[in-house]
A and B are shown apart, each in its own frame.
Chain A
Amino acid sequence: MPADRIDASKVEGILRRHPRVVALKKRRTRIVALGPKPSHRGEPDDREVVAVLHDYDAGQSMVALVDVKAKKVVALQDAPAHFQLSEDERREAEGLAAKDSRVRQFVGRRSLNPLTRLFFPKAGHESSAHRCAIVFIRPSLDERRYAIVDLSLRRVVDVLTRRDLTGR
């Protein structure tokens, strides 16, 4: 199934009926990746999609294989790895960074020109177990600040200088 033919809301509806996901009803969860199941030799691959659901409260992602035609979840398991940020997460991180007083002071009337990626705070940091983004604030060619956004806490937890980020 081509990626552009996946009905995200339909997949999410199927996934949210799965008992394990129903049990997470009170938690903040979001689909962070969605795409056609990578083909494998001899397996039908025209109707199954892979969806990654992140539980921000638990700091854990789950990977689901969803059969869209049969409207059922074929498999659901904890993801051993961290998937890249979704566009929604990117926008959320950039929005939070734009509102931060330290960022606003640095940027002034200039454009944020953000560049946002998946980030891993070092061990011991308050957000080290959470899903985080780093938003590069780039108001000019070489001026930089780096906003660390904790997507679980939904706030900017650090604004780093270049020296802070690079150790130089």
Chain B
Amino acid sequence: MPSLKKANWHVQYGWSESSGLRLGVCEYQGIRVIHSASVPFVYVNYEGDSSGPFTDELKSRKSKVEIRDIMFGFDLKVTYDYYGEDYQYEHVWRFHDDGQFGSTIVIQGPGEEIDGHHTYHLPFRYDLDISGASGDSFQRRRADGGWEDVVFEGRQLPMHPWAPHFDWRVIDKSSGRSASIRPRARDNAELWALRYSALESWGSWGATGSGAPGSSGSVPAIYDNGQSVQSTDIVVWYIAHIPSVERVTACGPWFRLNAYPRPDRDPDDDGHDHGHDH
């Protein structure tokens, strides 16, 4: 896997036959954050399920990964154009020098009809590694702004889907370091916190269920064995459900690191926005 050192990150990335551009180990300021991450497939179904759903693998005719310098960080970017005029997706993995990061898929479609009667379901799988071992715990935000443990594996919904905040986090309680997760507005998002299992990790190749991701009997629900998501290896599946009526749409979760070492800053930059051209 090639790797890249930039903007306080050390990122391994590579192509997979069925998962498009995926990440390997990623470190921020020399400390592990991600063990692996991918978007295993896209599931498409049409209104009324008139015939049956199908899945898109994220493939490209090109093999080049574009590395793009941006303000405060960089992007890894690819276009999935394997499906020609019927469907196209773009994928951006973005990393900021302050520890924020995210994965975004742009759904170009247009699909087999253009009146907004089909839906794209996109799972984003993150095997996070905040503790560097098996000491991570999953928490959700309480209404009063504090955090509470989620004891068992399962599905989580945003507190306010129309105005999302960092509703969930994976935390290493011994160091206090955490990665908070924010859903995107209009993603109709759900998040599944699972304990790592080999079978589930093999599913990151693109294994799917016959039902839409997130539904009973489909991925990732089939990997939910009711196990604890406290002080263990955590894998999160963020699922965006995007109706095609919202055409040319971006989706995907956003992450922010907390209690990681602060980067060395430019002496002219006090960390506050003074009207710079962002």
Residues in A lying within 8 Å of B, measured CB to CB: 3, 33, 35, 37-41, 50, 63, 65, 75, 77, 79-84, 113, 115, 117-122, 125, 134, 136, 138, 141-142, 144, 146, 148, 158, 160, 162, 164-168
In the complex, the answer to whether A121 meets B202 with C-beta atoms within 8 Å is no
CB distance A80 to B205 under 8 Å?
no
Closest to B44 in A: A117
Query: A166: which of B112, B201, B203, B209 is its contact (CB, 8 Å)?
Result: B112
Are B46 and A115 in touch, CB under 8 angstroms?
Answer: no
Residues of A within 8 A of B203 (CB): 81
- B residues near A142, Cβ cutoff 8 Å: 85
Query: Which residues of B are found within 8 Å of A77, using beta-carbon distances?
Result: 199
Tell me whether A41 and B201 are in contact in the complex, defined as CB-CB below 8 angstroms, given that A136-B86, A166-B50 are known contacts. no
- Chain B positions within 8 Å of A82 at CB level: 207-210
Are A84 and B50 within 8 A (Cβ)? Answer: no
The residue from A136, A160, A167 contacting B117, defined by CB atoms under 8 A apart = A167
Chain A residues near B112 (CB-CB < 8 A): 144, 162, 165-166
Known interface pairs A81-B222, A166-B118, A168-B117; A117-B47 also in contact (CB < 8 Å): no
Residues of chain B with a CB closer than 8 A to A148's CB? 51-52
Question: Would you call A81 and B198 a contact (CB within 8 A)?
Answer: no
Alpha-carbon distance A94/B117, docked complex (angstroms): 27
On whether the beta carbons of B86 and A81 are closer than 8 Å, the reply is: no
List of A residues within 8 angstroms of B210 by Cβ: 82, 120
Contact A38 B202 (CB under 8 A): yes
Tell me if B206 counts as interface (CB < 8 A to partner A): yes
User: Are the CB atoms of B219 and A138 closer together than 8 Å?
Assistant: no
Cα-based distance from A102 to B67 in the complex (angstroms): 46
Q: Which residues of B contact A41 (CB under 8 A)?
A: 35, 129, 133-134, 233
| Contact B113–A38 (Cβ < 8 Å) | no
**B124 is an interface residue with CB less than 8 A from chain A:** no
- How many residue-residue contacts, CB under 8 A, span A and B? 118
Ranked 4 nearest A-B pairs via Cβ: A167-B50, A81-B207, A120-B210, A166-B113
Main secondary structure of the interface of B (DSSP, over half): loop
- Chain B interface size, under 10 / 10 to 19 / 20 to 34 / 35 or more: 35 or more
Q: Are B54 and A3 in contact (CB under 8 A)?
A: no
Contact status B222-A119, CB under 8 Å: no
Q: What CA separation (Å) do A115 and B56 show in the bound complex?
A: 10
* Closest chain A residue, CB of each to CB of B211: A120
With a cutoff of 8 Å between Cβ atoms, the chain B residues found around residue A38 in the complex are 36, 201-202, 204
Known: A38-B201, A168-B117. Contact between A121 and B51, CB under 8 A? Answer: yes
In the bound complex, residues from chain B placing their C-beta under 8 Å from that of A115 are 83-84, 86
- B residues 94-145 near A (Cβ < 8 Å) are 112-113, 115, 117-118, 129, 133-134
The answer for the CA separation of A148 and B54 in the assembled complex, in Å, is: 11
Inter-chain CA distance A44–B134, complex, in Å, is 17
**CA–CA, A3 and B14, complex, Å:** 12
- Residue B69 lies at the interface, judged by CB distance under 8 Å to chain A: no
* Min CB gap B33→A, angstroms: 14
A47 CB to nearest B CB, Å: 16
Q: Which residues of B contact A165 (CB under 8 A)?
A: 46, 50-51, 112
A138 touches which of B86, B202, B223 (Cβ 8 Å): B86
Chain A residues, Cβ within 8 Å of B49: 122
Decide if B161 is an interface residue (CB 8 Å cutoff). no
